[in-house]
Amino acid sequence: MSSVALRTDGSLARPILIALAMLVAGVVLGLPLAIVLVEAFARGPGTYLAALVDPDTIDAIALTLIVALCSVSVTTVFGIAAAWCIARFTFRGRSLLLTLIDLPFSVSPVIAGLVQVLLFGRRGWLGPFLAAHDVRIVFALPGIVLATVFVTLPFVARELMPLMQEQGAEEEEAALSLGASGWQTFRRVTLPNIRFALLTGVLLANARAMGEFGAVSVVSGHIRGATNTMPLQVEILFNDYQIEAAFAVASVLALLALVTLGLKLALERRQSVLLTTKGSAP
Query: Between residue 42 and residue 81, which ones bind another protein under the rule CB under 8 A?
Result: 53, 55, 58-59, 62-63, 66, 70, 74, 77-78, 80-81
- Interacting residues of 60 by C-beta distance below 8 A, sequence separation 6+: 228, 229, 230, 232, 233, 249
CA distance 71 to 155: 11
Q: Any alpha helices (H) in 122-185, and if so which ranges?
A: 127-132, 141-152, 154-167, 170-177, 182-185
Identify the residue among 43, 188, 235, 270 touching another protein (CB under 8 A): 235
Collapsing DSSP to helix, strand or coil, 240 comes out as coil
Q: Minimum Å distance from CB 50 to another protein?
A: 12
Closer to another protein by Cβ: residue 101 or 197: 101
> Binding residue for another protein (CB under 8 A) from 256, 270, 274, 275?
256
Kindly state whether residue 124 participates in binding another protein, applying the rule CB under 8 A: yes
User: Could you say which residues in the range 148-167 bind another protein, by CB under 8 A?
Assistant: 149-150, 153
Which residue in 199, 216, 212 sits closest to 264, CA to CA?
Answer: 199
Q: Are the CB atoms for 151 and 212 separated by under 8 Å?
A: yes
Residues 2-41 binding another protein (CB under 8 A) are: 2-7, 9-10, 13-14, 17-18, 20-22, 24-25, 27-33, 35-36, 39
- The correct pick among 48, 72, 116, 161 for binding another protein (CB under 8 A) is 116
Query: Is residue 184 part of the contact set for another protein (CB under 8 A)?
Result: no
Per CB under 8 A, which of residues 92..111 are in contact with another protein? 92-111
What is the C-alpha to C-alpha distance for residues 158 and 244, in angstroms, rounded to an integer?
A: 37
